[in-house]
Structure 1
Amino acid sequence: MTSAPSASSVRARVAAAASGSGAAAFATLLLFTLFAGDFWRNLISWPGYFVLAGLLAAASIVVLVRTRPAFHWRRLPRMLVLFLLLATVSIAWSAYPGASALGVIAQFATTAGALYLALALDWPQLLRALANAFRWILGLSLLFEFVVAAFVRHPVLPFWASYPEGKLPSAFYWSRGLLFHGGQIQGIQGNSNLLAMVALLAVIVFGIQLADRTVRRGAGITWLVIAVGTLALTRSSTVIVAGLATAVVFAFALWMRRVAPDRRRPVYLTAAALVVVAAGLLIAFASRIPALFGKSEDLTGRLDIWHSVIGLAQERPVFGWGWVSYWAPWVSPFKNLAERNGVTYLQAHNAWLDVWLQLGIVGLVVFILLVATTLGRSWFFAVDRPRTTIADDKPYTALGLLPLLLIAALIAQSAAESRILIEAGWALLVVLSVKTKQSTP
C-alpha cells in the first residue's frame, strides 16, 4: 500500500507544471513574434514593437541566466561566434556607424531569443513550440483575411502609418481583401512571401508531428491541410521553389536511411549529378524559368537590385560597408538603392549578396561556413540512427529530420530573400546551429 503524497510534493509538482506551461507559452510568444514581427509593427507601431522585442530579448537572457541550462560554452558553433564578432567590429570601418550599431543590437537581441530556444528547450519541446506558433499565425491570418474580405470589403492599411494621398502601391497594404478571389493573401504579416514561408515550415512541423504520432491524428491532418491551403492561397513563387528544393532534400534523406552506411556512395553521386544538371538547366533556361512561376524576366525587380548591390559590394569587396541587418533607408548608400513602383526595399533579396555587401568577402566566407556546417550536422542527424549506446540499432524518428528540412528551406529561400539574416530566419539558423552542435534530436 502506497502512502499519500505529501503536501510539499504536491506543491512541487504543481509548481513544475506551472513552470513548464509558462516556458511553453513564452517560447510560443517568442517564436510568434519572430515570425510575425510585421503583425506587431502594423498593430502597435514600430516603437511599440521595439518595446515588445526588447522585453522578450531581456526575458530570454534573464531566464537563461537564472536556469543555467546544461551546455558547454566551448561547444557554441565557432562560425556563429565569429560572424557575430565580425558584425560587431565592422562598426569600426562602417560607412554608417550609427546604423551599424543599431543593426548589431538587433542582431544580438534576436540571437538572445534564439539561444533561449536552443538551450532551454529540447527537440520535442522546440517542435511543439514551433507548431503552436505556426497554428496561431495561420489561424489568425485566415481569420483576418476572412474579416477583411467579408466585412471590410476593401484593402486595409497598417495602423499607425501615414501615406500620401492617391493610389498607393499594393505592397503598402496590410491586406488587399483577396481571400474570396483566390489570393494572393498576405495574412497578419501583411506579406504573402512571409506567410507562405510560415506555411511551408508548418507543413514540415505538422508532418513530423503526424509521422511521430505526437498529436491527435484528426487535429494533425486538419492543421496540415490548413498549412497547405494557406501556401496555395499565398501563390508565392519563391516559397514554391523553396518547397520543391526541400522536398528533394527530404527524398534523398529517406533514400539514405534505407541503405546501409557502407552503401551510401551512390546516393551522394546521384545528388551531386542532380545538382550539376539543375545548375546546367538553370543557366540554359534562365530567361524562361521566371515565366513558369508567373514572374517577369527581371524576377519582379530582383535583377536590378542584385545589379546595384554587386556594384556597391565591388567598391568595398574585402570587409564590406559595415553590418546593418535591415537596410537603413536614411543613410547612404541605402537611400533609394532599391526602389520599385514607389516601394523602397530594405534588403538585397539574396542573403549571400547581402552579406557580401555588408561584411565583404571575409564575412561571406564565414557565413558560408556557418550555414554549411549547420547543414552538415543536420544531414547526419537525419540520416544516421540515434545512438545512446555502441549498438547502432535504434529506430529512426521523423523528429530527426526536423533540423535538415528547416535548414534546407532556409537555404532555398536565401537565393531570393535575405530573411535568413534577420528576425525569424536568423533565429532559426542560430537555433539549428547551436542545437545540432550541443545535442541530438
Structure 2
Amino acid sequence: MTDSPRGAPPGRWVVLLASAALARAYTLTVLGTVFSAFAIERIAGRVTYASILVGLCVLGIGILVARRKEISLVRLVPTTVVLFVAWALVSVFWSQDATSSFWGWVSTASLAFLAVTIGHVRDTLQTARALGDVMRVLLSISLGVEIAAGILLDMPFRVLGIQGNIAQLGPVQGIFGTRNLLGFAAVIALITFLIEYRTQSVRVGVSVFSVVLAGGLAALSDSPTVLVLAVAVGIAVGALALVRHSRPEGRSALQFTLGGIVVVGLTVGYAARHPIIAFLGAGSDFSMRVNLWNTMVDYLRSKPVQGWGWFGPWNPDEFPFSAINYGLRTSHATGLNAYFDVLLQLGWVGLLLFTAFAGVALVRSWLDASERKSVIYAWTPLILVTLLVDSMFESFTLFGFGWLLLVLCAVRAGQSRSWRERIDVVDAGPGTGPGAESLPHAPR
C-alpha cells in the first residue's frame, strides 16, 4: 500500500480500511470468532479457525496502516504486555519442543495483536457495545442448542460436547465446551449488559432480555466459580461506586483504605478457605486442583527462573504436561490456575511480568473509572476483576477470549493512564489532556 501523492485524496482502499464502518465490522468479527472458537474448531476444524485468525491479523495490519496518522507509536502497546509476550517468545529456545512452543506463542501473539487493533479503532463504549451484540447472539445460540438437545430431541450433541442436561437444570455447556467456560463467559456478558443498560446504549427490553439470558445460563452452568465471580464483581461494583461518589480531596485516602481491606480480605479468605470450599460444595474439585498445583510446583523446581517454555494450553504429549497427567492419572488441558500455569511455563520471571502486566492495567483502569463521570469507564476494571479472580481457578485468561480481553483491557487502560500520554499531551499542546470526558476514537 502506497501513500497518495501530496494533495491528492487517499485511495478508496485506504478510505475503506480507515472507515468507522469497517472498524465496527472488524471488531464484531474478531469477538465473534474468538468467543466461538470451540464451536468453530469442533465443526470446521482447527485449521479453519487458524485461517480465520490469520486473515483477521492481515486485515488488522491494513487497518492500522491506514490509520497510522491517528495512532501514536509509543502508545500502541503497553510496555508490560510487550515484555510478557517477548519473554514467552524467548522461552521457545529452552522448551522441550521448540516447534510446538513457537506455534503456541504465535497463537498468543496473534490474539494480542487483534486486541491491540480493536483497542485503537474502537473506544470503550463501542467495544462494550460490540461485545454485548456478540454475546447476545452466542448465548442465545447456546440456550437454543441446549433446549434442542435436552428437551426437543432428548439426545446429546457430541460434536459440541453438549450433554443435554437442561431439563435437569444443568449443568449446561452451550457452544463453549465446558460449564466453567460458559459460566465465565456469562459473567463477562452480564457485566457488559448491565453497562449497556446504565449507558442506555440499547433499548430497555433488549437489556432485560440480555441480563436474564446471561444470568440464567450462568446459573444453569452450575459452575462453582460463577458464585465466586459474582461476589467479587459485586464487591468491586460497590467499592467503585463508593469511590466515584466520594469527595475528590478524600479519594486517595479512600483508595488506600479499600486496598488495605482487599489485602485483609484475601488473607482471611485464604485462612478460611476450607469452610468456604465446603459451603460451595466444591471440596473434591478443590482437592483435585491442589494436587495438580503441588505437582506443578514439584516440576517447577527444576527450572524455577525460566520455566519449561511457553505453550499456552497444554500439549498432552509434551513434557512436563504428559508427566504431570500421567502421575495424577488425569488428562488436564491446563493447570486450572493462570498464575501457576505461567509459573510452570515461564518461571518466576514470567509470573512477575504477568502480575505486573495485569496489576498495572487494573490500577490504571480503576483510577480512570473512579475519576471519570461516565459509567462506561467502569467496564474495563470490572472485566479485569473478573479475569483476575477467575485466574485463581482456571487458566482461561492465558488463551482464547480471556487472553484477548486481558490485552484489550490493558491497552484501554494504558491509553488514559500512562507516561506515554504525557508525551502526546506535550506534542499536541494544551487542552488535550485526560480531563476531557469525550471518548477517544469517536465514530466519524
Pairing 1:434–2:411 present: yes
Distance 1:239 1:59 in 2: 36
Give the corresponding residue for 1:415.
392
TM-score after normalising by structure 1: 0.86
Pairing 1:381–2:368 present: yes
Residue type of the partner of 1:182? Answer: L
Is 2:312–2:399's contact at 8 Å kept on the other side of the alignment?
A: yes
Give the corresponding residue for 2:291.
304
Is 1:39–1:189's contact at 8 Å kept on the other side of the alignment?
A: yes
Is 1:34–1:423's contact at 8 Å kept on the other side of the alignment?
A: yes
Shift of 1:20: 3.9
Is 1:339–1:345's contact at 8 Å kept on the other side of the alignment?
A: no
Shift of 1:230: 1.1
Distance 1:336 1:345 in 2: 11
Give 3-state SS (helix, strand or coil) of 2:366's partner: helix
How many residues align? The count is 404
Residue type of the partner of 1:70? Answer: E
Give the corresponding residue for 1:89.
90
More helix by share: 2
Distance 1:21 1:140, change over 3 A: farther
Distance 2:69 2:348 in 1: 36
Give 3-state SS (helix, strand or coil) of 2:161's partner: coil
Residue type of the partner of 1:438? Answer: Q
User: Structure 2, unaligned stretches of length 5 or more?
Assistant: 1-11, 417-433, 440-444
Distance 1:17 1:304, change over 3 A: closer
What's the C-alpha RMSD, in Å, of the aligned pairs? 2.3
Shift of 1:114: 0.9
Distance 1:339 1:227, change over 3 A: farther
Is 1:71–1:438's contact at 8 Å kept on the other side of the alignment?
A: no
The within-5 A match list for 1:11-30 is 20-30=20-30
Distance 1:16 1:317, change over 3 A: closer
Is 2:180–2:225's contact at 8 Å kept on the other side of the alignment?
A: yes
Q: What do residues 206-263 of structure 1 show as CA deviations (whole Å, max 9, x unaligned)?
A: 1111111111111111111111111111121113212211111111110001111221
Distance 1:67 1:283 in 2: 48
Q: What do residues 150-183 of structure 1 show as CA deviations (whole Å, max 9, x unaligned)?
A: 233122212xxxxxxxxxxxxxx71110111111
Give 3-state SS (helix, strand or coil) of 1:91's partner: helix
Give 3-state SS (helix, strand or coil) of 1:252's partner: helix
Shift of 1:138: 0.6
Shift of 1:199: 1.1
Give the corresponding residue for 1:51.
51
Pairing 1:425–2:402 present: yes
Is 1:42–1:174's contact at 8 Å kept on the other side of the alignment?
A: no
Pairing 1:398–2:385 present: no
Is 2:18–2:66's contact at 8 Å kept on the other side of the alignment?
A: no
Give the corresponding residue for 1:62.
62
TM-score after normalising by structure 2: 0.85
Distance 1:133 1:340 in 2: 41
Distance 2:70 2:324 in 1: 46
The 4+ residue runs of structure 1 with deviation greater than 6 A are 15-18, 339-342
Give the corresponding residue for 2:138.
137
Identity score, percent: 30
Distance 2:136 2:361 in 1: 27
Distance 1:32 1:327 in 2: 24
Is 1:155–1:175's contact at 8 Å kept on the other side of the alignment?
A: yes
Distance 1:63 1:273 in 2: 43
Distance 1:340 1:190, change over 3 A: farther
Is 1:252–1:267's contact at 8 Å kept on the other side of the alignment?
A: no
Residue type of the partner of 2:171? Answer: Q
Is 1:338–1:345's contact at 8 Å kept on the other side of the alignment?
A: yes
Distance 1:98 1:257, change over 3 A: same
The within-5 A match list for 1:13-412 is 20-68=20-68, 70-75=70-75, 76-158=77-159, 174-264=161-251, 267-268=254-255, 270-299=257-286, 301-338=288-325, 344-385=331-372, 396-412=373-389
Distance 2:332 2:164 in 1: 23
Distance 1:260 1:18, change over 3 A: closer
Shift of 1:289: 1.8
Give 3-state SS (helix, strand or coil) of 1:177's partner: coil
Distance 1:292 1:331, change over 3 A: same
Residue type of the partner of 1:178? Answer: N
Distance 1:362 1:342 in 2: 30
User: Structure 1, unaligned stretches of length 5 or more?
Assistant: 1-11, 159-172, 386-395
Give 3-state SS (helix, strand or coil) of 1:335's partner: helix
Q: Which moved more, 1:241-250 or 1:340-349?
A: 340-349
Distance 1:225 1:422, change over 3 A: same
